[in-house]
Chain A
Amino acid sequence: MSKPRTDGQTVLESGWGEFRAQMKEWREAIDRTLPPWWSKGLAIALIAIGIVLPFAFSQNSGFMNATIIAVAYVVMSLGLNVVVGFAGLLDLGYVAFYALGAYSLGWFGSDFFFKTKVHVLVHGIAAQETGIHLNFILILIAAAVICALAGIVIGLPTLRLRGDYIAIVTLAFGEIIGVVAVNGTDIHLGGGMTLTAGNFGISAVDSPYFPVIGQFNLLNLRPWYWLIFAIMLIVLFVNLRLRDSRLGRAWIALREDEVAAVSMGIPSVRTKLSAYAMGAAFGGMSGAFLGTYFTTVNAGQFQFGFSIFILAMVIIGGLGSIWGAVAGGLLLGYINYYLIPDVLNSLPSKVGLNFQLVTIEIGIYGFLLVLVMILRPQGLIPERRRRLELTAEIAATDTELAEPTAFHATGETAP
């Protein structure tokens, strides 16, 4: 970090110096409130709390149910954050990966393809049934791979586009997947098997089985929670590592200035596609989990609104901020599955109004989004860079007035 400044008087002589002193003060204030190990310490504490959390609630409490879904949403918002936040590619079709992830579960973890009989590392009832039954971990990997490939396919036509046009193409793709899911009942794969079950849904999907824990069931939500919590931790770890890597810097460089980025040797096609693939893979993993958790894979689950819902998490949390995506996912997940339906639903009737709060939940999200945009446009937990950028605006106006800085080469040796 920065060294303490000793020449306090001379600093204040010029506007530039004054600004530097001010910047330093702010930086120190940030350092004071957040010690260098704060993120590590916070992370360890949160993981510990996360692991023991289920013991504070009954095995099938509504709050645990909300938590499981909220954590699954965090995985999605972390995935979308890679595409929208890091690489700056506005993706409005993220629901496509929820759908593909969930269908991966439906295809490879139920008796939907009833003419086949494939079993890989499965236990319990599933091991006797017809259809394809893979171990949940394998399904998770399959979902990630299928979605990564789909992400690349969706990414390809957007490569030559910028900004809003990317949003339109991805939106269309999300809709295409949704429509295919509904009409998949007419896509015959032979032997009476179809691609999807449309709005009837693929039900009786396998629940995960793990040694020691056994078969998951909905009477005890704790194993489900630990499973999605573990998935979330892995995704979070990958995100954190990638952000501070060669690839992560390349994503951010492309977001900041594509022309400059490619001129610095960043291959734009490969870098963008890797962002799409990575983001999609995370979405697919979460989708596969939600498929088995909801015990059904129904075309009606994959609506356009879901893409916006995940995007809202990323924006409310802070675009490009990993911890922001976590916070946004948890916040909206809890509001959607706990606060509105369980806690506040009867609020309108209590004040004499004849409706339930769930009926206006979309309006509530819109209101929250507007509120965040007005009060805290950088998001709840902004990316470090953006936080500094806000103070940088002051810098830009200040330096214009500052003394001219001579261009002098002061380096002593050639590097």
Chain B
Amino acid sequence: MTTETAAPATAAVMRIDHLVKEFGGLVAVDDVSLEIPRHSIVSLIGPNGAGKTTLFNMLTGLYKPTAGRILLADRNITRARPDIITKLGVARTFQNIRLFGAMTAVENVIVGRHARMHAGIFGSVVRTPRVRREERQARERARELLAYVGLDEDSFDLLAAQLSYGDQRRVEIARALASEPVLLLLDEPTAGMNPQESANLTAFMRRMRDELNLTILLIEHDMKVVMDVSERVTVLDHGTKIAEGPPEEVRANPRVIEAYLGAQK
């Protein structure tokens, strides 16, 4: 077992070493290395098809990398199952909202807490005092989290499918927070939002980071949000990392401009 003292001075929450993902002949992610410092907000940007979501899917265990290594606080999670990775403290949202449509907002968030609950078959059938307490706490916690992300209390017991788009995004964040993550992965959290909403979310990301002691890695297309919120930006293009650094530096990088706007004649 590795201990806190064994961690390097940088105290990265997650280290990605030479990660590769091939789908047949297509190399979706090609030798990407990345370090996510504790308590930071890191953005992952790049044109469509750059491999950002593929990278996310590997970090959360949905895809198994072809080569390379993913370390979560020095623990190798490269081939771990998604549920194990969630339990170890990585939570995510999805680019296209993936709530459980037939469940209420509260139930969605309680499911997010699955990894932190313990009730087994026997306990659930008998409903032991411990299970009862756990259920009650999960429900209370879910309502707290929904209030925290700013969902109207009237909507708590509506089915997820009945919620507005903006509310669904909120519930998704609350659901991810329910697993008590160390690292939160947000896949295009501002997609479909107007500038005002994006600005609000930007502020909220910082607040979550500070109040819940999170590290956030986000995929984002909205450059205003990226420049505003991130401490570091990593740019992917055709599966390879073409730039990395503070936002201002990355913005000025000619390779990044080329990837986004095409080569200058």
Distance (whole angstroms) from the CB of B60 to the closest CB of chain A? 6
Which of A2, A252, A260, A393 interacts with B102 by CB under 8 Å? Answer: A252
Question: Which B residues are in CB contact (< 8 Å) with A259?
Answer: 62, 94, 98
Question: Which B residues are in CB contact (< 8 Å) with A119?
Answer: none
**Known contacts A404-B166, A407-B170, then 19 further A-B pairs from the complex at CB < 8 Å, ordered by chain A residue:** A242-B125, A246-B117, A247-B124, A253-B114, A256-B101, A259-B62, A260-B94, A262-B81, A263-B94, A264-B111, A265-B115, A385-B102, A407-B200, A407-B204, A409-B203, A409-B204, A410-B150, A415-B141, A415-B148
Q: How many residues of A contact B (CB 8 A)?
A: 52
Kindly state the separation between the CA atoms of A245 and B131 in the bound complex, as whole angstroms: 9
Does B11 have its Cβ within 8 Å of any Cβ on chain A? Answer: no
Does A274 have its Cβ within 8 Å of any Cβ on chain B? Answer: yes
**Interface 1/0 per residue, B92-128 and A, CB below 8 Å:** 1010001111110001001110111101110011110
**Interface 1/0 per residue, A220-246 and B, CB below 8 Å:** 000000000000000001100110011
List the 8 closest pairs (A to B, CB-CB), nearest first: A265-B115, A245-B124, A414-B211, A265-B86, A411-B148, A415-B144, A260-B98, A256-B100
Question: Which B residues are in CB contact (< 8 Å) with A163?
Answer: none
State whether A264 touches B162 (Cβ < 8 A). Answer: no
Question: Which A residues are in CB contact (< 8 Å) with B131?
Answer: 245
Kindly state the separation between the CA atoms of A45 and B207 in the bound complex, as whole angstroms: 53
Does A396 have its Cβ within 8 Å of any Cβ on chain B? Answer: yes
Which of B82, B100, B125 interacts with A253 by CB under 8 Å? Answer: B100
* Total inter-chain residue pairs, C-beta < 8 Å: 170
Kindly state the separation between the CA atoms of A385 and B141 in the bound complex, as whole angstroms: 22
Does B193 have its Cβ within 8 Å of any Cβ on chain A? Answer: yes
A262 and B154 contact, Cβ closer than 8 Å, known pairs A247-B119, A388-B159, A407-B204:
no
State whether A256 touches B102 (Cβ < 8 A). Answer: yes
Within 8 A of B (CB), among A107-148: none
State whether A406 touches B166 (Cβ < 8 A). Answer: yes
State whether A256 touches B144 (Cβ < 8 A). Answer: no
Kindly state the separation between the CA atoms of A392 and B101 in the bound complex, as whole angstroms: 9
Does B161 have its Cβ within 8 Å of any Cβ on chain A? Answer: yes
Does B5 have its Cβ within 8 Å of any Cβ on chain A? Answer: no
